[in-house]
Amino acid sequence: MMTDNVRFKVDSLPDQPVVDLRDRPSPEVLRVLAIGTPEVVQNFVMTLFQWGYARPDEWSRQLPTVNPGEVMRILTKRITLVD
């Protein structure tokens, strides 16, 4: 459940997002975007960690979006497709 209050320090963020997704990922690459307030994004990252899906250090740092008070983090996972 994502109703827990999470307190953390937000590092200063650059003025412009720096994300280059122009590479040609193979079908075995999955990217998960978490976009929201810093608190909501951090809560989501920690929830996936508690579920055993991804460690917090596997995510990108917080990146600003064009919306004030909103950030995004990106998780890139290599997955194995099973027929």
Torsion of CA 61, 66, 68, 71, to 10 degrees: -20
User: Strand pairing partners for 66?
Assistant: none
The answer, as to whether pTM is greater than 0.85, is no
- Whole-angstrom CA distances from 47 to 5, 31, 38, 40, 61 are 12, 17, 14, 10, 17
Dump pLDDT digits (tens) for 58-74.
999 999 999 999 999 99
Dump pLDDT digits (tens) for 8-57.
444 444 555 555 656 665 668 889 999 999 999 999 999 999 999 999 99
* CA 68/CA 64 separation, integer angstroms: 8
